[in-house]
A and B are shown apart, each in its own frame.
Chain A
Amino acid sequence: MGRYVIRRLLQMIPVFIGTTLLIFLMVNVMGDPTAALCGDKACDPATQAALREQFHLDKPLVQQYLIYLGNIFQGDFGTAFNGDSVSDLMLRAYPVTIKLTFVAIVFEIVIGIGLGVITGLRRGKPIDTGVLVLTLVVISVPTFVTGLVAQLLFGMQWGIVKPSVAYEAPLSELILPGLVLASVSLAYVTRLTRTSVAENARSDYVRTAVAKGLPRRRIIWRHLLRNSLIPVVTFIGTDIGALMGGAIVTERIFNIRGVGYQLYQGILHQSSPTVVGFVTVLVIVFLLANLIVDLLYAVLDPRIRYA
């Protein structure tokens, strides 16, 4: 187990270097950021040259990347073009996004798995068909539509919630955005759980358990669910990374000062340190989430062992 984890962690190093290099190149292709710094005016050439020097933009790309990487290993993610320290921005943004992701994941687990088990056990009944149609609708509607409609209805029309989230992003205000963020994945989790439960409900070990006269609750929780959850856990695990990075739309609509919000500003200002920094950390989160999922398999299914 220990060796397995170490191997996985070591594998992350080349992935990390590769992704940062790729993002670094992509941001640099978008044009010279100093060209936009003076607005509709051309900076006078001397000032522009001084700015380039200040941000190391006058050096060859490879050298720029090495300087950047060197700073990262010293824990310094650089400064955005307006002088904000990227590490500071991250320290403020990540807790908010983690909170939001947490809310979304809770929704996925509670509602998604809940509905999945109900529909999986009552295949073909009206509730099953109803939920299936509903998930289809949710999956086909893009998040920004769900978000705007939810904001309009709950925030403006009925006035039950505030249309945007306060600066401090208290957990209670993140419930609606969390639900919006989770909506699509939630529908997938429901469908995945439903299929898995439906399949396993006909398996021999469930029939044996029923024949032994075990109470229904125990059959579902201990035997059926535990075996059915493996694909669902995989999905939710990989979804953590996707949710954190994919919150750009939701965070903009509800003005949540998280990762997506800072990333959007970074892209808008073409501030490569901000964009590369945030995406790099997202990549690490993604890799770690995947590792944890793989380790969870062993917990759920004792047949799986890591050496």
Chain B
Amino acid sequence: MRLGLRTGALAAALVLAVPWLASCGATATESGVVRAKWGDPQNPLEPANTNEVNGGKVLDMIFRGLKLYNPDTAEPEYAVAKSISSDDAQNFKVTLKDGWKFADGTKVTSQSFVDAWNYAAYLPNAQIGADFFGYIDGYDKVHPDKGKPTAKKLSGLKVVDDTHFTVKLNQKFSLFPDMLGYAAFSPLPKKFFTDHDAWLEKPFGNGPYEVTDYERGGRMKLRLNDQYNGTKPRNKGVDLLVYTDDNTAYTDVVAGQLDVTDAVPAEQLSNLHKDIDNRYINTPAGIIQTLMFPMYDKEWATADALKVRRGISLAINREQITDKIFQKTRIPAKDWTSPVLRDEGGYNPDICGDRCEYNPKKAKQLIDEGGGFPGGRLVLSYNADTGNHKQWIDAICNSVNRVMGNSKACVGNPVGTFADFRTQIQSGKFSGPFRSGWQMDYPLIQNFLQPVYTTGAPSNDGKWSDKRFDALINKANADPDPKSAIKDFQDSERILAEQLPAIPLWYQNGTAVYGTRVHDVKLNPFSVPVFEEMTVND
């Protein structure tokens, strides 16, 4: 009997002791260092081999390209380049500033850029960003569509001396210099080529930070790069910590274990923790979500189907969905670009105008006139593994169903994994609209239109094709005057409004919450935290 009591007491003591035991053994935080949420990058951290936000975050910190996009206005400004000039919008002269060095002390020269770009474009290196170099003369030799490459270097790149090089494009493209702030165009140090594995182990470049410790799949420590030639960051470094659950990252910020997370789960937004107070950021980012139609399917390409497409656009109550589901972290879309381009950059909310406005009466009328949905039912496809797409797809369907007065008019079609979703898109399997989105690579109106809607473009998943549209894009690219080029781009966008190969849904904002330890936190137009400007208060 006594033994039983004693064991019971022991067990009870253990249960009670748990919290206290757990509270000791805390690891100290380094003073002056920002702790930020991170995700495991999807590809090796090579500049031209990264196209998602986690790898991009690191590249932003360890590299500086010829240009840099202003974190507030997205305006391209000179960074390593002193000037980039051209008389004919096809041949460019690049002049570099003196004094830029890589973290290992070697100089940043014209050769660093030319070698990096040649590496990126060369097919056997299998860099996923290779097509960004497609404008440069000789690309078809180093990266042919079929077969083996016949050259190792882009013939359009010529080194003049350490601080000068020239770029010849295979077509006129006046906005080309403004593309050069994209991470894929970063310079690379000699070590990248001579000892590739060692470089990947601990990547370094010419940016404000350098990687001091990289535990794969878990944590990356970045500290100041002494060789950096720009404005010194206002903190002592950044620790990127991998979280697989956004909720945990959010909880950690509330509890003071983490300083910044730029992935706030939607379910937390409606009821932000009182401790977060006003340390919540919700700013426009260059991301637009659309619903793309399978224009390769004959049933969707008819004149009647155009009426149906227009009807579907009018049947979606964008305001209500962005308010109720996204808590105003998305804004109803009124064109095919993004507000971060601003009016000067080509953003124009009148282009879609009332075609993107909720109008249930007209919507039903148009859909009925067009003979109803092809196949008798509207099936919206999306990937179910990431991104919480189910919620808004269901909301769109509800909206359409209400308009049609038929609770079975529209259904969602979840696809298990993103890879499978992409495979099905690429093989043209969907017979109804599917989720589509575009996150800008560089803040140019061209980036929102050309790669997505021109004939045969890599992201033209609906395989829409319109000669007038292609011609206008080509004309705009060749126009030496950026202002009139933007007018042409907007004209091409008006064809999208007429034809609706994809319906604009909403512009996605960047959101973040941060703790009391850090100040001056903001997101750039790419929805990436601007780490250099953060200050830490210990």
Contact = CB atoms under 8 A, between A and B. Distances in A.
B419 A164 contact: no
B422 A88 contact: no
Given A35-B422, A127-B8, 18 more contacts: A30-B419, A32-B419, A33-B419, A37-B128, A41-B459, A44-B145, A46-B145, A82-B42, A111-B14, A117-B4, A158-B19, A160-B19, A161-B19, A162-B23, A162-B26, A172-B23, A268-B244, A269-B40
Contact of B22 (A82, A122, A173): A173
Contacts, number: 217
Given A110-B11, A151-B251, A46 B143 contact: yes
B244 A252 contact: yes
14 contacts: A30-B417, A31-B417, A31-B420, A41-B458, A43-B128, A46-B123, A47-B123, A47-B126, A50-B126, A170-B25, A173-B22, A175-B21, A269-B40, A270-B419
A253 B249 CA distance: 9
A42 B4 contact: no
A81 B43 contact: yes
Given A31-B419, A47-B123, A175-B21, A167 B218 contact: yes
Assign chain A's interface to a size class.
35 or more
Contact of B248 (A167, A217, A253): A253
Interface string B212-239: 0001111100000000000000000000
Contact of A114 (B8, B126, B218, B420): B8
A216 B25 CA distance: 40
B251 A31 contact: no
A88 B217 CA distance: 10
B204 to A, nearest CB: 16
A95 to B, nearest CB: 13
Interface string A106-122: 00001100110110011
A180 B411 CA distance: 38
Contact of A111 (B15, B42, B125): B15
Given A35-B423, A117-B7, A176-B22, A167 B42 contact: no
Interface centre among B20, B251, B252, B420 (most CB of A within 10 A): B251
Which one of B22, B243, B451 has the greatest number of beta carbons of chain A within 10 Å? B22
Contacts of A36: 417-419, 422
Contacts of B241: 167, 255
Contact of B27 (A166, A216, A251): A166
B24 interface: yes
A173 to B, nearest CB: 6
Contacts of B43: 37, 81-83
Contacts of A254: 248
A118 B18 contact: no
B262 interface: no
A252 B245 contact: yes
A140 to B, nearest CB: 20
A88 B216 contact: yes
B200 interface: yes
B151 interface: no
A40 B437 contact: yes
Give the bracket for the number of chain B residues in contact with chain A.
Answer: 35 or more
Interface in B398-442: 416-423, 425-426, 436-439
B27 A269 contact: no
B146 A30 contact: no
Contacts of A159: 255
Interface in A128-156: 148, 151-152, 154-156
Leading 7 A-B pairs by shortest Cβ distance: A31-B420, A172-B25, A36-B419, A83-B44, A50-B126, A35-B422, A160-B19
B144 interface: yes
Most central of A33, A82, A159, A175 by chain B CB within 10 Å: A82
A191 interface: no
A265 B217 contact: yes
B127 interface: yes
B11 A115 contact: yes
Nearest to A271: B42
B72 interface: no
Contacts of A92: 215-218
B19 A176 contact: yes
Contacts of A53: 126
B150 interface: no
Contacts of A17: none
B7 to A, nearest CB: 5
Interface stretch (A228-236, A256-264, A282-290, A296-304): A256-264
A51 B248 contact: no
B405 to A, nearest CB: 34
Contacts of A199: none
A171 interface: yes
Nearest to B28: A166
A279 interface: no
B455 interface: no
Contact of A161 (B23, B124, B386, B458): B23
Interface in B328-357: none
A45 interface: yes
A104 interface: no
Contact of A42 (B11, B52, B422, B439): B422
Contacts of A168: 27
Nearest to A161: B22
B313 to A, nearest CB: 21
B265 interface: no
Nearest to A177: B22
A46 B146 contact: yes
A220 B4 CA distance: 10
A179 interface: yes
A292 interface: no
Contact of B10 (A50, A85, A114, A167): A114
Contact of B25 (A54, A171, A262): A171
B11 to A, nearest CB: 5
A52 to B, nearest CB: 9
A163 interface: yes
A210 interface: no
